[in-house]
Amino acid sequence: MERLRRVRLLCLGWTSLLLVACGGGGGGNTPPPPTGGPPPPPVSTQTLIETPSAAVRFLSWSTFGGTKAQIDALTGMDAADWLKLEFSRPPTYTLPKLASAPRDQDGQIERWTASGQYWDQMFTAPDQLRQRMAFALSQILVYSDITNLSEQAKRAYYQDILIEHAFGNYRDLLQDVTYSPAMSQWLTYYRNRKGDPNTGRMPDENYARELLQLFTLGLVELNPDGTVATGANEIFDNEDIVGLARVFTGLSGKGLQFWGVPDEDYIYNPLVMFEDQHSTLEKSFLGTTIPPNTSGTESINIALDTIFEHPNLAPFVSRQLIQRLTRSDPPPEYVGRVAAAFEAGRYQSENGQIFGDSRRGNLEATLAAILLDESLFTEPASLSAAEQTGKIREPILRFAHFIRAFDHTNIISLNEWRLVNTIDPATGLGQHPFRSPSVFNFYRPGYIAPNSQSGELGLTAPEFQIMNESSAIGYHNFTSEFAFNFSPQRDGQLESFIPNYDDELSLVDTPADLVDHLALLLTADQLSVPEREAITAILETLPVETGDPAAEAFDRFQKVATAVALVINSPSFAVIW
């Protein structure tokens, strides 16, 4: 116990360094967006994944962490060819699994089931690129079930919308999000009625405001590279919100009546427009006017088309997707290249692969532009200082990478008490899929950490908004339980999340080799020399008892688990370059 206590104290010291280790935009009127067309010229970059460390790095951006088999398969392959294969994989949906989940005597599904199944998909789904992209979208088009954990099917249906459209078109995604029961109740436009001049009742404005501010355009005019335009004006004012709010009236659950009990399956079907409750008034916003007496369905189509065609959309969405995948503080040049692919709806890789369908807003093209960008395949020494920023991996991504790296068996997230609710930063990850505290997500995309080195440099570091002394300790304790395989389980007879340390156990007698192996597997060889030396020194103090096979096996396992716990709590594991 004394050995383990010393190891944990060292980890706590290192994780606190994350609070200071690492920490949005300037010029001209924005031209109207193109409506598609020829792809941008091929980028002059080499996208061959030549080494295992390069494979680990690329998989850290494009999946929930590379397995050993994935690392081997990707090494020596062109990243563009790998993407082409990933785009062709069939999607793994959550709702079918929920429908077949066990029910209690009242016919109800346990309230944690959808959450547990989504964790399972992160760890095991074969369509990792799609799942990672859907998770990124979930932090832009934010829905949370934190206020109602019993919304099982609503949540699963919403998850599946993001999964289905992850490689599709952002306009189609906006359509399905708008008509989803989950979003309508989260942002309070479910059964939103037209105004009543006699009582002074006005349509609910919640969705109208957040659709513009958070999901699509932001607050001020942007240049195509995501920087704030010189002399930028605010995009909308309260009158725009009043006009747009009238659009989202008349929607209710699938059924016969607006106020009646909806059909049992309404929670996983699009909302239905009830014209008698839809505002017939003129609706003016963003320079567009929808004439009086326009139907509800047509009004929504016009509104979404208007928002989608705005020049802010491409840079606003592109920058946030980059932040969630590859760079916490992406330079404007990178944002501009990705936004150009979003606008064109098509992207061509250096080796001639074509991504997208030439329709503006195509997310396959956008995602390919993000992951194949020249800055990701260029030696850091040849990049400008602004382009040398890395990606701070939020707690969910770090934990998922750890689970996938060691081929855990019996992945049954619902059996793990620690995965039931990981929101509390003192005892968990401080983060949980689809359970952010508000529509503003867990962290703001423009967050600059105060009293930090990154803050002094003016770098945006969204993930640092949920990092502090308490969350560093909570993350350490949470992950250590899994590393040492003593996480508390709901069914004590059912052991889940068993790590496979076979490869690591073969290196336990040479601690330096073990640390180098873990440095590659978990940090893409970015673990610093001081970190390697410190971890190696600790491992060399841990004895392995011989003569008693059971005791020897236990000591060897503990030594490997200690090494793993130290690496996954190191600053080098938290940031991928």
Residue 453 — pLDDT band, cuts 50, 70, 90? Answer: confident
Q: Residues near 282 by Cβ (< 8 Å), separated by ≥ 6?
A: 243, 289, 290, 291, 292
> What is the percentage of the chain residues whose pLDDT exceeds 90?
79
pLDDT of 15 > 50? The answer is: no
Q: Read off the pLDDT band of 38 (50, 70, 90).
A: low
Model pLDDT, residue 32: 40
Residue 543's identity, in one-letter code, is P
pLDDT given for residue 404 in this prediction: 98
pLDDT reading at 61 higher than 80: yes
From residue 402, give the alpha-carbon distance in Å to each of 22, 140, 518: 21, 25, 11
Res. 152: pLDDT tops 90: no
Instruction: Taking residues 23-37, report their average pLDDT.
Output: 40
Long-range contact set of residues 380-389: C-beta below 8 Å, sequence gap at least 24:
380/577, 384/331, 386/331, 387/331, 387/333, 387/334, 388/577, 389/327, 389/328, 389/329, 389/330, 389/331, 389/459
Task: Quote the pLDDT of residue 304.
Answer: 98
Q: Return the CA Rg of the chain.
A: 25
**Structure tokens that stand for 100 in this block:** 């077949």
In this prediction, residue 102 has a pLDDT band, given cuts at 50, 70 and 90, of confident
Higher confidence at residue 100 or residue 26?
Answer: 100
In DSSP notation, 189-222 reads -TTPPPPBTTTTB----HHHHHIIIIIIS-SB-B
The pTM for the full model equals 0.91
pLDDT band of 34, cuts 50, 70, 90:
very low
Q: Is the pLDDT of residue 549 over 90?
A: yes
506 closest CA partner among 565, 556, 562: 556
Residue 180 confidence (pLDDT): 97
Closest CA to 129 of 163, 81, 94, 177: 163
* Dist. CA 60–CA 53, nearest whole Å: 11
Q: Is 450 left (phi over 0), alpha (psi -120 to 50) or beta?
A: beta
To 10 degrees, what angle do helices 52-62 and 79-87 make?
Answer: 40
Angle at the Cα of 407 from the Cα atoms of 392 and 498, rounded to 5 degrees: 105
Q: Which amino acid does the sequence have at 356?
A: G
Domain boundaries, the chain: 1-22+390-433+467-577, 39-100+118-168+334-389, 188-311
Least confident stretch, 18-22, 325-329, 345-349? 18-22
For 196-215, write each residue's pLDDT tens digit: 999 999 999 999 999 999 99
Tell me the three state secondary structure of residue 283.
Answer: strand
At residue 2, the pLDDT reads: 35
pLDDT tens-digit series, residues 68-81: 999 999 999 999 99
| pLDDT in the model for residue 474 | 94
Task: Give the model's confidence band at 387: pLDDT under 50 very low, under 70 low, under 90 confident, else very high.
Answer: low
Distance CA 113, CA 152 (A): 7
* Nearest Cα residue to 89 out of 150, 133, 35: 133
- The pLDDT score that the predictor gives to residue 16 is 36
Whether the per-residue pLDDT at 3 is higher than 60: the answer is: no
Q: What is the pLDDT of residues 217-261, one digit of tens each?
A: 999 999 999 999 999 999 999 999 999 999 999 999 998 899 988
Q: For residue 213, how far is the Cα from the chain centroid? A: 19
Q: What is the pLDDT of residue 33?
A: 40
Mean pLDDT taken over the chain: 90
How far apart CA 349 and CA 40 sit, in angstroms, is 10
